[in-house]
Amino acid sequence: MRRDPTTLPGRPCSLAAALEVVGDRWALLAVREVMFGNHQFSQIARNTGAPRDRLAARLKTLVEAGVLERRPAGQPGRFGDGYHLTDAGRELSPVMRALLTWGDRWAVTAPPMRMRHHDHPFTPRTVCDTCGEPVRDGDVTREMLAPQWTMEGHSDG
Amino acid sequence: MRRDPTTLPGRPCSLAAALEVVGDRWALLAVREVMFGNHQFSQIARNTGAPRDRLAARLKTLVEAGVLERRPAGQPGRFGDGYHLTDAGRELSPVMRALLTWGDRWAVTAPPMRMRHHDHPFTPRTVCDTCGEPVRDGDVTREMLAPQWTMEGHSDG
Protein backbone atom coordinates (compact mmCIF):
# COMPACT_ATOMS: atom_id res chain seq x y z
CA MET A 1 0.00 0.00 0.00
CA ARG A 2 2.27 2.76 -1.28
CA ARG A 3 1.30 6.37 -1.12
CA ASP A 4 1.93 9.21 -3.54
CA PRO A 5 4.04 11.40 -1.23
CA THR A 6 2.79 14.64 -2.78
CA THR A 7 -0.65 13.89 -1.29
CA LEU A 8 0.71 13.94 2.28
CA PRO A 9 0.04 16.95 4.51
CA GLY A 10 3.16 19.12 4.64
CA ARG A 11 6.47 18.20 3.06
CA PRO A 12 6.41 15.22 0.64
CA CYS A 13 8.66 12.81 2.52
CA SER A 14 9.19 9.07 2.85
CA LEU A 15 9.67 9.51 6.58
CA ALA A 16 6.17 10.99 6.81
CA ALA A 17 4.78 8.16 4.67
CA ALA A 18 6.54 5.60 6.89
CA LEU A 19 5.10 7.24 10.01
CA GLU A 20 1.58 6.99 8.60
CA VAL A 21 2.06 3.22 8.92
CA VAL A 22 4.35 2.76 11.93
CA GLY A 23 4.32 6.20 13.62
CA ASP A 24 2.55 4.90 16.67
CA ARG A 25 3.85 3.49 19.91
CA TRP A 26 1.60 0.42 19.97
CA ALA A 27 2.22 -0.39 16.32
CA LEU A 28 5.98 -0.63 16.78
CA LEU A 29 5.66 -2.53 20.05
CA ALA A 30 3.39 -5.04 18.28
CA VAL A 31 6.06 -5.44 15.57
CA ARG A 32 8.63 -5.95 18.35
CA GLU A 33 6.64 -8.83 19.84
CA VAL A 34 6.17 -10.53 16.47
CA MET A 35 9.94 -10.15 15.87
CA PHE A 36 10.48 -11.82 19.26
CA GLY A 37 8.36 -14.77 18.12
CA ASN A 38 5.09 -13.92 19.83
CA HIS A 39 2.38 -14.28 17.19
CA GLN A 40 -0.89 -14.45 19.14
CA PHE A 41 -3.05 -11.42 19.94
CA SER A 42 -3.17 -12.35 23.63
CA GLN A 43 0.65 -12.58 23.86
CA ILE A 44 1.10 -9.28 22.02
CA ALA A 45 -1.46 -7.57 24.26
CA ARG A 46 0.14 -8.82 27.49
CA ASN A 47 3.74 -8.14 26.49
CA THR A 48 3.10 -4.63 25.13
CA GLY A 49 0.56 -3.55 27.74
CA ALA A 50 -1.48 -2.00 24.91
CA PRO A 51 -5.21 -1.40 25.40
CA ARG A 52 -6.86 -4.24 23.47
CA ASP A 53 -9.06 -2.07 21.27
CA ARG A 54 -6.17 0.17 20.21
CA LEU A 55 -3.93 -2.84 19.63
CA ALA A 56 -6.56 -4.49 17.44
CA ALA A 57 -6.84 -1.30 15.36
CA ARG A 58 -3.05 -1.03 14.97
CA LEU A 59 -2.70 -4.68 13.95
CA LYS A 60 -5.41 -4.19 11.35
CA THR A 61 -3.54 -1.17 9.92
CA LEU A 62 -0.25 -3.08 9.89
CA VAL A 63 -1.85 -5.98 8.01
CA GLU A 64 -3.49 -3.60 5.50
CA ALA A 65 -0.18 -1.82 4.98
CA GLY A 66 1.61 -5.11 4.31
CA VAL A 67 3.88 -5.04 7.38
CA LEU A 68 2.25 -8.05 9.03
CA GLU A 69 0.24 -10.93 7.63
CA ARG A 70 -2.34 -12.85 9.54
CA ARG A 71 -2.32 -16.61 9.11
CA PRO A 72 -5.55 -18.42 9.89
CA ALA A 73 -5.97 -20.79 12.81
CA GLY A 74 -7.35 -24.29 12.32
CA GLN A 75 -4.28 -26.46 11.85
CA PRO A 76 -3.70 -29.06 14.56
CA GLY A 77 -1.85 -27.40 17.43
CA ARG A 78 -2.56 -24.02 15.80
CA PHE A 79 1.08 -23.97 14.73
CA GLY A 80 1.87 -21.05 12.46
CA ASP A 81 -1.33 -19.10 12.95
CA GLY A 82 -1.45 -15.52 14.18
CA TYR A 83 0.56 -12.49 13.07
CA HIS A 84 3.78 -12.88 11.08
CA LEU A 85 6.25 -10.46 9.50
CA THR A 86 6.22 -9.82 5.77
CA ASP A 87 9.38 -8.72 3.94
CA ALA A 88 8.41 -5.11 4.69
CA GLY A 89 8.01 -6.03 8.37
CA ARG A 90 11.38 -7.77 8.54
CA GLU A 91 13.01 -4.70 7.01
CA LEU A 92 11.91 -2.66 10.01
CA SER A 93 14.80 -4.26 11.95
CA PRO A 94 17.16 -1.29 11.45
CA VAL A 95 14.44 1.06 12.70
CA MET A 96 13.85 -1.09 15.79
CA ARG A 97 17.56 -1.46 16.56
CA ALA A 98 18.09 2.30 16.19
CA LEU A 99 15.19 3.08 18.53
CA LEU A 100 16.32 0.48 21.08
CA THR A 101 19.86 1.87 21.05
CA TRP A 102 18.59 5.43 21.44
CA GLY A 103 16.33 4.33 24.30
CA ASP A 104 19.23 2.61 26.07
CA ARG A 105 21.22 5.84 25.87
CA TRP A 106 18.55 8.44 26.60
CA ALA A 107 15.24 7.02 27.85
CA VAL A 108 15.92 4.51 30.64
CA THR A 109 17.70 4.45 33.97
CA ALA A 110 19.26 1.08 33.09
CA PRO A 111 18.96 -1.08 29.93
CA PRO A 112 16.55 -3.98 30.63
CA MET A 113 17.61 -5.98 27.56
CA ARG A 114 20.94 -6.79 25.97
CA MET A 115 21.66 -7.32 22.28
CA ARG A 116 24.48 -9.63 21.21
CA HIS A 117 26.10 -10.17 17.81
CA HIS A 118 27.49 -13.71 17.67
CA ASP A 119 29.51 -13.91 20.93
CA HIS A 120 29.99 -10.20 21.71
CA PRO A 121 27.86 -7.22 22.77
CA PHE A 122 26.07 -5.53 19.89
CA THR A 123 25.88 -1.82 19.22
CA PRO A 124 24.75 -0.80 15.73
CA ARG A 125 26.86 1.59 13.68
CA THR A 126 25.67 3.13 10.41
CA VAL A 127 28.00 3.11 7.42
CA CYS A 128 27.46 4.26 3.84
CA ASP A 129 26.48 1.25 1.73
CA THR A 130 28.28 2.74 -1.29
CA CYS A 131 31.71 3.60 0.17
CA GLY A 132 31.64 1.72 3.50
CA GLU A 133 32.67 4.76 5.56
CA PRO A 134 31.12 5.44 8.98
CA VAL A 135 28.48 8.13 8.68
CA ARG A 136 28.83 11.47 10.41
CA ASP A 137 25.75 13.69 10.36
CA GLY A 138 27.43 16.54 8.49
CA ASP A 139 28.47 14.22 5.63
CA VAL A 140 24.91 13.32 4.65
CA THR A 141 22.98 15.91 2.67
CA ARG A 142 19.39 15.81 1.48
CA GLU A 143 17.78 17.20 -1.61
CA MET A 144 14.07 17.62 -2.26
CA LEU A 145 12.94 16.19 -5.59
CA ALA A 146 9.30 17.22 -5.22
CA PRO A 147 8.32 20.35 -7.17
CA GLN A 148 8.17 23.60 -5.19
CA TRP A 149 9.78 22.15 -2.07
CA THR A 150 13.18 23.08 -0.73
CA MET A 151 14.88 21.80 2.42
CA GLU A 152 13.59 24.94 4.15
CA GLY A 153 10.00 24.33 3.13
CA HIS A 154 7.50 25.20 0.46
CA SER A 155 8.64 27.70 -2.12
CA ASP A 156 6.06 30.05 -3.57
CA GLY A 157 8.35 30.94 -6.47
CA MET B 1 14.17 12.46 31.83
CA ARG B 2 15.02 8.77 32.10
CA ARG B 3 12.48 6.20 33.10
CA ASP B 4 12.82 3.06 35.20
CA PRO B 5 11.88 0.53 32.49
CA THR B 6 10.29 -1.87 35.00
CA THR B 7 7.53 0.74 35.54
CA LEU B 8 6.45 0.59 31.87
CA PRO B 9 3.29 -1.26 30.91
CA GLY B 10 4.23 -4.64 29.46
CA ARG B 11 7.78 -5.77 28.79
CA PRO B 12 10.54 -3.60 30.30
CA CYS B 13 12.22 -2.36 27.13
CA SER B 14 14.25 0.62 25.97
CA LEU B 15 12.31 0.61 22.71
CA ALA B 16 9.10 1.13 24.68
CA ALA B 17 10.75 3.88 26.73
CA ALA B 18 11.98 5.55 23.54
CA LEU B 19 8.50 5.38 22.03
CA GLU B 20 7.01 7.12 25.08
CA VAL B 21 9.04 10.13 23.93
CA VAL B 22 9.15 9.87 20.14
CA GLY B 23 6.52 7.22 19.31
CA ASP B 24 4.30 9.71 17.58
CA ARG B 25 4.09 10.82 13.99
CA TRP B 26 4.08 14.56 14.67
CA ALA B 27 6.90 14.34 17.21
CA LEU B 28 9.29 12.75 14.72
CA LEU B 29 8.22 15.07 11.90
CA ALA B 30 8.92 18.04 14.18
CA VAL B 31 12.40 16.62 14.88
CA ARG B 32 12.85 16.23 11.11
CA GLU B 33 12.13 19.90 10.51
CA VAL B 34 14.51 21.03 13.26
CA MET B 35 17.17 18.74 11.74
CA PHE B 36 16.52 20.44 8.39
CA GLY B 37 17.19 23.83 10.01
CA ASN B 38 13.63 25.00 10.55
CA HIS B 39 13.43 26.23 14.14
CA GLN B 40 10.26 28.33 14.31
CA PHE B 41 6.86 26.95 15.32
CA SER B 42 5.21 28.40 12.19
CA GLN B 43 7.78 26.73 9.89
CA ILE B 44 7.44 23.41 11.69
CA ALA B 45 3.64 23.57 11.54
CA ARG B 46 3.57 24.37 7.82
CA ASN B 47 6.20 21.84 6.76
CA THR B 48 4.76 18.95 8.80
CA GLY B 49 1.07 19.73 8.23
CA ALA B 50 0.50 18.95 11.92
CA PRO B 51 -2.57 20.38 13.66
CA ARG B 52 -1.20 23.30 15.69
CA ASP B 53 -2.56 22.18 19.05
CA ARG B 54 -1.15 18.67 18.71
CA LEU B 55 2.16 20.02 17.45
CA ALA B 56 2.42 22.38 20.43
CA ALA B 57 1.79 19.46 22.81
CA ARG B 58 4.42 17.29 21.10
CA LEU B 59 7.02 20.06 21.13
CA LYS B 60 6.39 20.55 24.85
CA THR B 61 6.93 16.82 25.47
CA LEU B 62 10.12 16.81 23.38
CA VAL B 63 11.50 19.78 25.33
CA GLU B 64 10.60 18.15 28.67
CA ALA B 65 12.23 14.89 27.56
CA GLY B 66 15.42 16.70 26.60
CA VAL B 67 15.23 16.01 22.86
CA LEU B 68 14.73 19.65 21.89
CA GLU B 69 15.58 22.88 23.67
CA ARG B 70 13.76 26.11 23.21
CA ARG B 71 15.86 29.23 22.94
CA PRO B 72 14.17 32.52 23.77
CA ALA B 73 13.47 35.22 21.23
CA GLY B 74 14.57 38.78 21.78
CA GLN B 75 17.98 39.03 20.16
CA PRO B 76 18.19 41.40 17.21
CA GLY B 77 16.99 39.54 14.11
CA ARG B 78 15.72 36.74 16.38
CA PHE B 79 18.72 34.69 15.24
CA GLY B 80 19.07 31.47 17.18
CA ASP B 81 15.68 31.48 18.85
CA GLY B 82 13.13 28.71 18.50
CA TYR B 83 13.58 24.95 18.79
CA HIS B 84 17.03 23.36 18.59
CA LEU B 85 18.35 19.81 18.92
CA THR B 86 20.07 18.66 22.10
CA ASP B 87 22.65 15.84 22.04
CA ALA B 88 19.78 13.38 22.54
CA GLY B 89 17.95 14.96 19.61
CA ARG B 90 20.99 14.79 17.34
CA GLU B 91 21.41 11.12 18.20
CA LEU B 92 17.98 10.42 16.67
CA SER B 93 19.67 10.67 13.24
CA PRO B 94 20.05 6.87 12.83
CA VAL B 95 16.36 6.43 13.68
CA MET B 96 15.34 9.06 11.13
CA ARG B 97 17.59 7.66 8.40
CA ALA B 98 16.29 4.13 9.02
CA LEU B 99 12.66 5.30 8.82
CA LEU B 100 13.32 7.36 5.69
CA THR B 101 15.02 4.41 4.00
CA TRP B 102 12.18 2.07 4.97
CA GLY B 103 9.64 4.59 3.67
CA ASP B 104 11.47 4.91 0.34
CA ARG B 105 11.30 1.13 -0.07
CA TRP B 106 7.82 0.38 1.24
CA ALA B 107 5.63 3.43 1.80
CA VAL B 108 5.80 5.70 -1.26
CA THR B 109 5.18 5.40 -4.98
CA ALA B 110 8.39 7.37 -5.68
CA PRO B 111 11.00 8.83 -3.27
CA PRO B 112 10.45 12.61 -2.98
CA MET B 113 13.85 13.28 -1.39
CA ARG B 114 17.36 12.05 -2.03
CA MET B 115 20.13 11.54 0.52
CA ARG B 116 23.76 11.93 -0.53
CA HIS B 117 27.00 11.03 1.28
CA HIS B 118 29.76 13.33 0.05
CA ASP B 119 29.42 13.01 -3.76
CA HIS B 120 27.50 9.73 -4.05
CA PRO B 121 23.98 8.45 -3.27
CA PHE B 122 23.52 7.43 0.36
CA THR B 123 21.92 4.24 1.62
CA PRO B 124 22.56 3.38 5.25
CA ARG B 125 23.93 -0.03 6.17
CA THR B 126 24.15 -1.30 9.75
CA VAL B 127 27.35 -2.94 10.93
CA CYS B 128 28.38 -4.22 14.35
CA ASP B 129 30.38 -1.52 16.12
CA THR B 130 32.52 -4.17 17.86
CA CYS B 131 33.59 -6.38 14.92
CA GLY B 132 32.65 -4.21 11.94
CA GLU B 133 30.71 -6.97 10.17
CA PRO B 134 27.45 -6.22 8.33
CA VAL B 135 24.50 -7.25 10.47
CA ARG B 136 22.12 -9.97 9.38
CA ASP B 137 18.97 -10.37 11.47
CA GLY B 138 19.73 -13.92 12.56
CA ASP B 139 23.12 -12.92 13.96
CA VAL B 140 21.72 -10.54 16.57
CA THR B 141 20.22 -12.13 19.68
CA ARG B 142 18.51 -10.46 22.59
CA GLU B 143 18.42 -11.33 26.23
CA MET B 144 16.08 -9.94 28.87
CA LEU B 145 17.86 -8.70 32.00
CA ALA B 146 14.69 -7.69 33.85
CA PRO B 147 13.56 -10.19 36.51
CA GLN B 148 10.75 -12.55 35.52
CA TRP B 149 10.83 -11.62 31.83
CA THR B 150 11.93 -13.90 29.01
CA MET B 151 11.95 -13.13 25.28
CA GLU B 152 8.58 -14.90 25.10
CA GLY B 153 7.04 -12.75 27.79
CA HIS B 154 6.40 -12.68 31.51
CA SER B 155 7.38 -15.82 33.41
CA ASP B 156 5.25 -16.78 36.40
CA GLY B 157 7.93 -19.14 37.70
Please, which residues 4-63 of chain A have a Cβ atom closer than 8 Å to chain B?
4-6, 8-25, 28-29, 32-33, 36-38, 43, 46-50
State yes or no: pLDDT of B110 exceeds 70: yes
Chain A hits for B90, Cβ within 8 Å: 137
Confidence of residue B75 (pLDDT cuts 50, 70, 90): low
pLDDT, residue A72, reads 84
State mean pLDDT over A101-124: 95
Q: What is the pLDDT of residues A3-59, one digit of tens each?
A: 999 999 999 999 999 999 999 999 999 999 999 999 999 999 999 999 999 999 999
State yes or no: pLDDT of A1 exceeds 80: no
Average pLDDT, chain B: 93
A3 vs B5, B101, B109: nearest CB = B109
Q: Could you give the percent of chain A with pLDDT greater than 70? A: 95
Give, as one character, the DSSP assignment of residue A24. B
Q: What is the pLDDT of residues A67-78, one digit of tens each?
A: 999 998 766 555
Whether complex ipTM tops 0.90: yes
DSSP B74-124: -SGGGTT-EEEE-HHHHTTHHHHHHHHHHHHHHTBSS-SEEEEETTEE--E
For residue B52, give how far its alpha carbon lies from the nearest alpha carbon of chain A (Å).
13
- Partnered with residue B120 across adjacent β-strands are B117
Query: How far does Cα B23 stand from its chain's mean position?
Result: 8
pLDDT, residue B78, reads 56
Chain A hits for B126, Cβ within 8 Å: 94, 97, 124-127
Q: Which residues have a Cβ under 8 Å from the Cβ of B154 and sit 6 or more positions away?
A: A46, A47, B11, B148
State mean pLDDT over A71-97: 85
Chain B hits for A3, Cβ within 8 Å: 107-109
State mean pLDDT over B83-96: 96
The CA radius of gyration of chain B, in Å to the nearest whole number, is: 19
State yes or no: pLDDT of A79 exceeds 70: no
Q: What is the pTM of this model?
A: 0.93
